[in-house]
Structure 1
Amino acid sequence: MDPLNFVNLIQSALAATGILGGLLLWLTKTKEFKGIAFLLFTIALGSCINILEETGLTREIYLISPVFIMLFGPMTYLAAKLLIDKELNKVQWWHLFPVIPLLFFTSYTYLVIGIGTVWRFAYAFLTITLLLKYKQTMDEERSDSEDFSLNWLVWILAVTTMFNLIDLIRLNVQQIIPYELNVLGQGINNAIWLVVVMIITIKLQSQQKIPKITEKPTAPDTIKHSTKNDYSSLFEELDKLITLNQWFLKPRLTLNDLSVLTGLQTRDISRAINVITEKSFNEYINNYRVNYVFTTIEKNTEKTLSDIAADAGFSSKASFNKVFKEISGMTPTEYKCRKEV
């Protein structure tokens, strides 16, 4: 048995954190978190197998660890798919099938690592695309889409993919680089995954229940070939009703809510807003909310920003601050201070 080194200690911490994070998410009542929980369990298992192989306990029996490089890609994609769609069909499970044949070729370590890394990059791209489309659809459906944003997960995937590329280079040149440098690179890679597992666990524990998509996003080609004349009268009627009744002040206003209030079809409302204002439903509603905040601050500077934000329909302080700065170019506090001077 080979002695343990600092990398194995990090791997042990990663295994423990993966198991704990997986249990915390698995035991929640939110079933769509179970895919992420299973992913964390798999990361923990991969770390345990790495320790067993690197210390020589199972290395001579059979080499398994290279297969995990290929496994993480489709598992991450399926976990994100379950998070968004709330269920997986039987066909989608076939994403894991290509991993099985590689189990019989793990003696060709570098070949398996190379194939697995390319596979992982491909699935990282698919997963990021899936998450960005979800955010786009939420923007078209909800005024509070920022509260359910999974952009943090997109950043995690982008960063880990970049480090996976660097680690692939290390794996392929480890025969010609000093042992200490190789071990340091391995340690850094495992430390990054340790941090990633902790971030995922904490973020999902604090994340509100993620809404399911109810409408397919309007096809870009449909919007592109629509003219303002096609929707001008409908938008005028819609905009008049929204401003007259101040429906934009309704917290967590959705496209479906607006459809019930106006009697118009959700698709017609969405297209009218997209074509005439060239904004998403989320941007359109939040513009009115920020203008309401402007007016309220000018009229009553004694009111707290939290109260003003709640009156304007914002459901959280974080989304209020983000939206306000995007539209005004300054934070709510900065704007309020300028008006008080």
Structure 2
Amino acid sequence: MAVLLLVLTGVLTPWLIGFAGFYDNWQWLTFFPIAQPLLVPPLLLAYVEMTIRGSPLQVLRAWFLPGFVAVSFELASFILPLSDKLEWAEVVGRAFRTAENLLLIVLFALVLRRVRRLVADYRKTLTEQRSDEARFGLTWLLQLTSAMTILWSVWALYALTDTVIPLSFDGLMPLYLAIAGASVWLAIQAWRYGNVPWPRLQAVTSDKDAPPRPTRDWQAEGGRWATVLRESEAYREPALTLRGAARIVGTNEAYLSRAFNEGLGLSFSAVIQGLRSDAVAAAIERGGGEDLLTLAHDAGFASKASFNRAFAARFGVPPSTYRRRLRIVKN
């Protein structure tokens, strides 16, 4: 993320100094390779990949190739003698800018498509393997994807316009203000979510290659294993995982996941959150002076927001409404 912010700052720099007249006063700055927009999309992808998968940069090197080619071209042009450089800029400057704009639009679109798929897969895997997915930075990843999609839309609009009708520094101002705003937002949010845990998750092992077995009643299995988790109160562990739950019920991860998903029509997270909601509801019905947040934490909920969502999904009303209605009935 730090490198991405540096690159975005570099993209802003030529517009800022050009607006101030630097290129008129110091023409040797022509082709100075500080603005490299083609590095923005692959750096975004690298951040997401390394955050949720731990993928090494080597596996992403193909995405950086257009940016490296652009850097090499500008660097080679920059070291030319001034007179040759200015003449070269007249010949290829416009064509290079057009090619860079069009390639940026396509590259950004491909990266955003992949990022959306990565985030969706990560979200699905979290709900299948964790009961505390609310602790992790899914909100940040979703916000990041949305923000960069908006930035791409603005960037594409101005890039296409500039390709057809060359824009002045004034004409490009809204684009660079958008880039500056996005950069500030990214810096703040990346700092805010810097300490959020990012578990490295693997897809649940499939049992499709296992030897044929008699047909199983996954609904019955799912109900039985959910009962075991209820009676053992394993759901009270805030960081309960699919692997840990499978050990408790005496099966493997693939079978437990299949029993919940196919048998009960629920993800692992939904089953555990339902058991926790039942525990809170039972505590409310017993009475007592505990506040709802204390009951939620005792039941294993990691946050107030996840508690309210899960309880409302289970009983159709928020926990405060559930308690109030119960008091009315008792009175």
> Under a length normalisation based on structure 2, what TM-score does the superposition of the two structures give?
0.78
- Deviation of 1:116 (Å): 0.7
CA distance in 1, matches of 2:215, 2:305: 34
What is residue 266 of structure 1 aligned with on the other side? Answer: 253
Q: Which residue pairs with 1:340 in the alignment?
A: 327
CA contact 1:66–1:109 (8 Å) conserved in 2: no
Higher mean Cα deviation, 104-113 or 73-82? 104-113
Please state if 1:183 is matched with 2:173. Answer: yes
For the residue of structure 2 that corresponds to 1:98, the secondary structure is helix
Compared CA separation, residues 84 and 42, structure 1 to 2 (3 A): same
1:40 alignment partner in structure 2: 5
What residue in structure 2 maps to residue 192 of structure 1?
182
Query: Which residue of 2 is the match for residue 62 of structure 1?
Result: 31
Contact 1:227/1:275, CA 8 A, preserved across alignment: no
Whether the aligned pair in 1 keeps the contact of 2:45 and 2:111 (CA below 8 Å) is: yes
**1:262 positional shift:** 2.5
AA aligned opposite 2:322:
Y
Aligned counterparts of 1:292 and 1:281: Cα–Cα separation in 2? 17
What's 2:304 paired with?
317
User: Does the 8 Å contact 1:67/1:112 carry over to 2?
Assistant: no
Q: What is the match of residue 81 of structure 2?
A: none
Q: Match for residue 30 of structure 1?
A: none
Q: In structure 1, which of residues 82, 89, 92 is the aligned counterpart of residue 60 of structure 2?
A: 92
Alpha-carbon shift at residue 297 of structure 1 (Å)? 1.5
CA shift for structure 1 position 312:
1.0
**Residue range with higher mean Cα deviation, 82-91 or 133-142:** 82-91
Matches within 5 A, 1:102-121: 102-103=70-71, 104=73, 107=93, 108-121=96-109
5+ residue gaps, structure 1, are 1-35
Gap change, CA 1:149 and 1:282, over 3 Å in 2: farther
- Partners in 2 of 1:229 and 1:185 — Cα distance? 59
1:204 to 191, 194, 199: 194
* Pair 100,249 (structure 1): closer, same or farther in 2 beyond 3 Å: same
Quick one: which amino acid aligns to residue 133 of structure 1? D
Q: Pick from 134, 152, 160 the counterpart of residue 146 of structure 1.
A: 134
Take 2:56 and 2:267, find their aligned partners in 1: how far apart are those partners?
29
| TM-score computed with the length of structure 1 as normaliser | 0.76
1:238-288 deviation line (CA, Å, top 9, x unaligned): 233122222222221111111222231111111111111111100111111
> Which digits, 9 at most, give the CA deviation of each residue in 1:73-105, with x for residues without a partner?
111111111111234163333321232223327
Kindly state the Cα deviation for residue 187 of structure 1 after the two structures are TM-superposed: 2.0
Separation (CA, whole Å) in 2 of partners of 1:184 and 1:45: 17
Question: Structure 1 residue 234 and structure 2 residue 224: aligned?
Answer: no
Percentage identity across aligned positions? Answer: 20
Aligned to 1:127: 115
Instruction: Supply the RMSD in Å over aligned alpha carbons.
Output: 3.1
Where 2:194 maps in the other structure, the secondary structure is helix
SS in 2 for 1:90: helix
Query: Which is greater in Rg?
Result: 2
Which AA in structure 1 matches 2:54?
K
- How many positions carry a matched residue from both structures? 299
For 2:294 and 2:134, the matched residues in 1 are separated by: 19
Deviation, 1:201, is 2.0
**How far apart are residue 315 of structure 1 and its match?**
2.0
User: Could you tell me how far apart the structure 1 residues matched to 2:121 and 2:251 are?
Assistant: 25
Q: 1:292 aligns with which of 279, 285, 298?
A: 279
Query: Is the alpha carbon distance of 1:37 and 1:335 closer, same or farther for their aligned partners in structure 2, counting shifts above 3 Å?
Result: farther
Residue 162 in 1 paired to residue 150 in 2? yes
Amino acid in structure 2 at the alignment position of 1:277: L
Equivalent residues of 2:8, 2:179 under 8 A apart: no
Partner amino acid for 2:306? Answer: S
1:306 is displaced (CA, Å) by: 1.4
| Alpha-carbon distance in structure 2 between the residues aligned to 1:102 and 1:185 | 21
Counterpart-to-counterpart distance in 1, 2:32 and 2:321: 59
Match of 2:236 in 1: 249
Once residues 264 and 285 of structure 1 are traced to their aligned partners in structure 2, the CA distance between those partners, rounded to angstroms, is: 17
